[in-house]
A and B are shown apart, each in its own frame.
Chain A
Amino acid sequence: RKEVEQDPGPFNVPEGATVAFNCTYSNSASQSFFWYRQDCRKEPKLLMSVYSSGNEDGRFTAQLNRASQYISLLIRDSKLSDSATYLCVVRGGGRRALTFGSGTRLQVQP
């Protein structure tokens, strides 16, 4: 089983749509959870950390379900500039390293 599993997509949505991405992780000892964004051939950039209580940053909402080992990201009112690959990332279980999922590609269309 992959350590961090994501639907690769692509998700093709119109501007203004709401889109949700899901991610599952296999290591129950994972302690920190993040969503990163990666544009084509660029470095990953932190979008937001994910907390157990759930958290929101503008149009972005992240949720964590530790019991199900499941993380989600909701994007409301999609913009063309949201087109990118969204990486689910976990850390912990005795490791300092970030463990990345393969990413979910989002294409927002006019």
Chain B
Amino acid sequence: EPEVTQTPSHQVTQMGQEVILRCVPISNHLYFYWYRQILGQKVEFLVSFYNNEISEKSEIFDDQFSVERPDGSNFTLKIRSTKLEDSAMYFCASSETYTSYNEQFFGPGTRLTVL
């Protein structure tokens, strides 16, 4: 069964450093998403991406964040200057289309720890 993959599974970084989280969406999917989940809290939407541009973003997704699809398979989330409060699990998701009941498939997540 096709699945979304994410690397690394765990990233530890110092405050102020840049990190890049990587995702490989399911191959025939067209819509890509990043969500995050701070420990003990709910899953929160960050950004959606379609046709090589951001289609929607949340208030969390400020200028410190950027997304890119550098090639035909990878989808990345960059945090330019990490803060302690960026520590969270980051989930990538993809969906085939954007119809009302179309399932978003989630990757296993990258746990980001900012020290």
Q: A-side interface residues toward B, CB under 8 Å?
A: 31-32, 38, 41-46, 49, 87, 91-92, 95-103
Given A49-B101, A102-B41; 19 other pairs, CB 8 A cutoff: A31-B100, A32-B100, A32-B101, A41-B111, A43-B106, A43-B107, A44-B91, A44-B106, A46-B104, A95-B56, A96-B55, A96-B56, A96-B98, A97-B48, A98-B35, A98-B45, A98-B104, A100-B42, A103-B42
The count of A-to-B residue pairs whose CB atoms sit within 8 angstroms is 49
Quote the shortest CB–CB distance from B103 to chain A (angstroms).
5
- The interface size bin for chain B is 20 to 34
**Are B91 and A43 in contact, CB atoms less than 8 angstroms apart?**
yes
Taken residue by residue from 78 to 95, chain B's Cβ proximity to chain A (1 for < 8 Å, 0 otherwise) reads as 000000000001010000
